[in-house]
Amino acid sequence: MTTGAGGNSITGGTQGTVVQAGHIEHLVVRQAPPPADEVTVAPPWGLRGAPLRGRAELLARLRAASGTHVLYGLGGVGKTSLALAVADVLAADGAPVWWVAAQDAGRLAGGLRAVARRLGLSEDELAAGQTADLLWERLAGLPGPWLLVLDNADDLALLDGPGSLAAGTGWVRASAPLRGLVLVTTRDGEPAAWGTGPVLHPLGALPGAEGARVLADRVAAEAGPATDAELLAVRLGGLPLALDSAGRYLASVAERPAYFRTPGEPATYGAYLAALGAGDVTVDGDGTLARIWAMSLRLLRDRGHAHAEGLLRLLAGFADAPVPLRVFAPVRVDIPPGELWSCLQALDRLGLATLQTDGEPLVTLHPLVRDAFRGERERLSAALAEELESPQRLGPLWPLLVPHLLDGLGPDVPYSAWAGAVRAVRSLTARGLLQEAVEAATTVSQGTADALTEDDPLTMAARFTHGRALLHLARYGEALVVLHALVEDCCRLLPPDDLFLLQARNERALVLQQSGSNDLSQVEFTAVLESLLRLLGPDHEHTLITHHNVAMDLAILGRLDEALTELDVVLAAETRLLGPDHDDTLTTRENRACVLRDLGDTEAARSELRAVTEARRRRFGPEHPTTLSARFNLATVLAPDRARAELAAVLHARTRLLGPHHPITVATGEALARTLPE
């Protein structure tokens, strides 16, 4: 430092602080800038491990792509793994690859400045405050191929940098003409935030077969058949992170001698799946998935979706099945409709849920997200119960509601949940899903018996639906036990002419009829019919059902002319009151045609059975139990070759639906055998 009469000057390097009082004529300070935070732009090759599954097509497209592409989806779905696979392929071809961590502003800016230095920008240029502009000018001038990855760019506000991501003036600029590839991985695939330039690629869950291959890649020893691995992969929602966790768990068990394993510790796919359902194991032992969900919810809150977590917890109370959005109408979620819809869209974009808007709007929660946020069953039961108050408007919603009505039943669920469950069992039976109906009916019947009183109408209704489901599945012995006990209890608790008691007696008599005890069933049907005629009159639906059953008893006993007379009376009333294609009318038409066949009027029987078969096929499809019944009866009046072909088709369907040893399947096989040439 020098001083003089004319002024002062300072030259050279210095450290600390220089304070000059008075007039300063000349001051020059040159000092090396402080060292920047250390960053790396090398790809994380150490994360390479098992083969990448289920992404071959997208990997090939990205390998040949240029411009800016965005991989978005649920945390743990494999975005980084796919980006690393792209980097691996391009690097092997000699292309330069830069990898920038984009979780926070410091690493993002530091990484992009490091890339800029690699591209020849000087420190003075970087210090001029136009790094983003200069970087993208250099990238646009590079010959291809090359790859720049911005990994984990979940906070899109960081990508705005000095300008705006959507406007093309931020750290990412899709409008630049590039010969190489910029690949961004993120949870957030909201198109408006990205602008019109980037190509957005949603990364979804792996299908079951590919998920099974991920498990097999990680399990060193044999852990069970591929079918079990696929079931486990589906239960894990096809999430690669969860598949990896489960596979490594099974591998760790397999590598230990048996005497070093905890009793009951799952060592196979099937055992792991069972333990997962029982809550004995978790795919999130280290809390990784919980942190992923928390980060996603924080991102939603930051984007202004304050109700997203509450909505997520509400959805998690439903079964692991698509939820019709219409059921949210009666749920008082205290979310304005517009915000509710935007929250659903946001959950969909982050991969936490899947929103389907084609046809009936549905939302499906990822199964592992559902596990993490399970709750709010009581509010949902109330919502579903309100929907069920107007069943005539549900129509095609029934199949969608059934799994939710049967989910989460227990002693603490509200009364409305049991009401919905009983109706769900009836729906399964009516739709011909007989195995599922019996399983559900058994659970609901036992559950209502434990949760409610024995004389509660729901307890009795559940027992009735149980017996009816068993009857439809031709498990006559079990059905008779259930319905006989129900009738005995109803006789003790209800008046003799109570309508429910009469229905239970009718159903018990139907079991007797179908199992061959026709003398007993005829007496019971006749007594029930007399009561119904007195209570409801001849044209009531319940009266007509029992009247039909009386006629069928006459037919089974060989009194065909009497049976035909009674069926004519029933059919005329049903056609007038219900229409020719109502389920009950079609049943009467089918059975009347069989009586005509047995009386020798084959032509009339064939014509009517064709009409009934076609009506049932139109309404229920070719393999509904009632359609198969009509097809079977139609085959009995066809020429031998055509009968043989139709019976073979019916046998194939019944074998698949009921099993080869079911009485109905066996009877179909015997009928087919009788058509074979000797």
Is residue 160 domain-shared with residue 258, that is, in the same domain? no
Contact 10, 1 (CB under 8 A): yes
% of the chain at pLDDT higher than 70: 90
Query: Is residue 140 included in any domain, yes or no?
Result: yes
Helices (H), ranges, 431-495 = 434-451, 457-472, 476-493
Q: Three-state SS for 68?
A: strand
Among residues 202, 235, 266, which one ends one of the domains? 202
Is residue 59 domain-shared with residue 186, that is, in the same domain? yes
Instruction: Supply 572's token pair.
Output: 């005329």
The CATH number for 151's domain is 3.40.50.300
% of the chain at pLDDT higher than 90: 48
Domain span at 230: 208-278
Is residue 178 domain-shared with residue 255, that is, in the same domain? no
Query: Is residue 231 included in any domain, yes or no?
Result: yes
Output the pLDDT for position 287.
75
467-491 average pLDDT score: 94
Region of poorest pLDDT, from 312-326, 369-383, 432-446: 369-383
Is residue 51 domain-shared with residue 163, that is, in the same domain? yes
Cα-to-chain-centroid distance, residue 145:
40
544-566 average pLDDT score: 94
The CATH number for 303's domain is 1.10.10
Query: Is residue 89 included in any domain, yes or no?
Result: yes
**Which helix (H) or strand (E) segment is 364 a member of?**
strand 362-365
Query: Is residue 243 included in any domain, yes or no?
Result: yes
Among residues 234, 249, 278, which one ends one of the domains? 278
pTM of the predicted structure, to 2 decimals = 0.69
Query: Running DSSP on this structure, what letter comes out for residue 393?
Result: G
pLDDT grade for 414, boundaries at 50, 70 and 90: confident
Output the pLDDT for position 69.
95
16-25 average pLDDT score: 41
| Cβ neighbours of residue 115 closer than 8 Å, sequence gap 6 or more | 41, 98, 100, 135, 148
Region of poorest pLDDT, from 31-45, 101-115, 119-133, 445-459: 31-45
Instruction: Supply 165's token pair.
Output: 């991501």
Output the pLDDT for position 316.
84
Query: Is residue 131 included in any domain, yes or no?
Result: yes
Output the pLDDT for position 22.
42
CA dist list (Å): 28 to 15, 21, 207? 13, 16, 67
Output the pLDDT for position 220.
65
- Residue 226, φ and ψ in degrees, nearest 5: -60, -30
Q: Which long-range contacts (CB under 8 A, 24 or more apart) does 654-663 make?
A: 654/628, 657/434, 657/435, 657/623, 657/625, 658/434, 658/435, 658/473, 662/473, 662/474, 663/474
Contact 463, 447 (CB under 8 A): no
* Exposure string for 51-80, b = 16+ CB within 10 A, e = fewer: ebbbbeebeeebbebebbbbbbbbbbbbbb
Query: Is residue 65 included in any domain, yes or no?
Result: yes
pLDDT grade for 27, boundaries at 50, 70 and 90: very low
Output the pLDDT for position 541.
92
Is residue 113 domain-shared with residue 229, that is, in the same domain? no
pLDDT grade for 6, boundaries at 50, 70 and 90: very low
Is residue 323 domain-shared with residue 186, that is, in the same domain? no
Residue 548, class by beta-carbon neighbours within 10 Å (0-12 exposed, 13-18 middle, 19+ buried)? buried
* Chain segment 246-271, per-residue pLDDT in tens: 888 888 888 878 778 788 788 899 99
| Cβ neighbours of residue 588 closer than 8 Å, sequence gap 6 or more | 548, 567, 570, 571, 574
Output the pLDDT for position 129.
82
Cα gap 113→33, rounded to integer Å: 15
| Cβ neighbours of residue 9 closer than 8 Å, sequence gap 6 or more | 1, 2, 25, 26, 27, 28
Is residue 188 domain-shared with residue 251, that is, in the same domain? no
Is residue 50 domain-shared with residue 195, that is, in the same domain? yes
∠ CA 449-452-458, rounded to 5°: 80
Contact 76, 239 (CB under 8 A): yes
State how many domains the chain has: 4
612-631 average pLDDT score: 93
Residue 275, class by beta-carbon neighbours within 10 Å (0-12 exposed, 13-18 middle, 19+ buried)? middle
Q: For the chain, how far is it from start to end, CA to CA, in angstroms?
A: 123
Task: Select from 268, 284, 243 the least CA-distant residue to 50.
Answer: 243
**What's the sign of the alpha-carbon dihedral 196, 197, 198, 204?**
positive
Cα gap 404→323, rounded to integer Å: 8
Beta bridge partners of 354: 364
Among residues 255, 278, 301, which one ends one of the domains? 278
584-588 average pLDDT score: 94
Query: Is residue 562 included in any domain, yes or no?
Result: no
E-strand ranges in 206-330 read 323-324
Helices (H) then strands (E): counts for the chain: 30, 10
Is residue 177 domain-shared with residue 81, that is, in the same domain? yes
The 3 state secondary structure assigned to 229-262 is HHHHHHHCCCCHHHHHHHHHHHHHHHCCCHHHCC
Is residue 76 domain-shared with residue 178, that is, in the same domain? yes
Is residue 162 domain-shared with residue 49, that is, in the same domain? yes
Query: Is residue 373 included in any domain, yes or no?
Result: no
Cα gap 239→113, rounded to integer Å: 34
More confident site: 559 or 311? 559
Q: Is the pLDDT assigned to residue 519 strictly greater than 50?
A: yes
Q: Which long-range contacts (CB under 8 A, 24 or more apart) does 275-283 make?
A: 276/232, 276/235, 277/235, 281/249, 283/236, 283/242, 283/245, 283/246, 283/249, 283/368
pLDDT grade for 378, boundaries at 50, 70 and 90: low
E-strand ranges in 152-283 read 181-186, 199-202
407-420 average pLDDT score: 82
pLDDT grade for 2, boundaries at 50, 70 and 90: very low
Is residue 197 domain-shared with residue 89, that is, in the same domain? yes
